[in-house]
Amino acid sequence: MITVFGSLSADLVTQVKHLPAPGETVTGPAYTVVPGGKGANQALAAALAGAPVRFIGSVGNDGFRDLALSGMRAGGVDLSLVAESPEQTACAFIAVDAAGENLIFVASGANLDSRAAQLDAAGLTSDDVLLLQMEITHAENWKAVGIAKAKGARVVLNLAPAGPIPEETLRQLDVLVVNETEAGQLGAQLGIADTDPEAVAGKIAADFDLDCIVTLGAAGARSFGPSGRFSVPALPTEVVDTTAAGDAFVGAFAAALDQGRPMDQALRQGAVAGSLACRSVGAQPSLPKGKEIAAQLAELT
């Protein structure tokens, strides 16, 4: 089983002709409210890809609570360990331009009340995968990593949004997923002189004995580490909105790992899912189902 310890939110999304510069007001014709949050997105992406998934996080007792949980609930994600917080359910405010690029602001609210102690009731074992992101309190993430490793579970961290990570935590990870920006920031933290994201990923993999994956947008993804060195392309697709592309990649990748697939196949599944998620507006509404991913795998050259 995959246990996701992370964030969830209600996403308010509007389409604009261009993303605003500082001090600029840009209007959109309308907005939609959809479930989101990196943790919830990745949990649903993994479930849609065929994995059994449990989500652990926090919501407020407010009007956005049920909406924030609705996508995962419909996707069959186990929500029994979600806690109620006195803070408001998190909200994200997302603008998407004509090229599918986005600008996102997040009001964290209840996400910051999630605690690693919630994992105690999860019964993690060596058959489990713990999947984490960076939208909850970082110190609780690092505690969760320690709890999972003590139980023999595999740990996958998506360093998004980018933030500092203790070196002792890096040594406990099995898989680290970063994009180009996140690779650069982590490389700077670790004193890595090379700024090329692939070189940084290779250095991190070697120094901390983990599989480090760097996602490169339309250029696909690269992986370095004990499982081998692999390169996968992105699936050519019309880009409407890139909001959940990274989450789709990570969730589908984690599902493949949980299903016992080797690293190269897991990367291919993640790459296809990430590309397919760019076809429509919104985070969770754009996540592809397992049948859609399987149908497109052969198109990945």
Instruction: Give the separation between CA 14 and CA 12, rounded to whole angstroms.
Output: 7
CA 116, chain centre distance (Å): 18
Whole-angstrom Cα distance, residue 202 to residue 101? 28
Peptide bond into 161 cis (omega under 30): yes
Angle between helix 263-276 and 245-258 (nearest 10): 150
- Best CA proximity match to 41, nearest among 6, 76, 65: 6
CA–chain centroid gap for 234, Å, is 17
Q: Can 247 be counted among the known catalytic residues?
A: yes
**SS3 sequence of 61-82:** CCCCHHHHHHHHHHCCCECCCC
Q: Which of 120, 247, 258, 264 is catalytic?
A: 247
Distances, alpha carbon 106 to alpha carbons 13, 234, 250, 263, 296, in Å: 12, 28, 20, 32, 33
**Is the Cβ–Cβ distance between 39 and 245 less than 8 Å?**
no
Provide the 8-state DSSP code for 19.
P
Report how far apart, in Å, the C-alpha atoms of 125 and of each of 22, 119, 202, 250 are.
48, 12, 29, 21
| Cα dihedral value 285, 281, 217, 183, nearest 10 | -70
Q: Report the first-to-last Cα separation within the chain, whole angstroms.
A: 30
CA angle 205–210–215, rounded 5-degree value: 65
Active site residues: 247
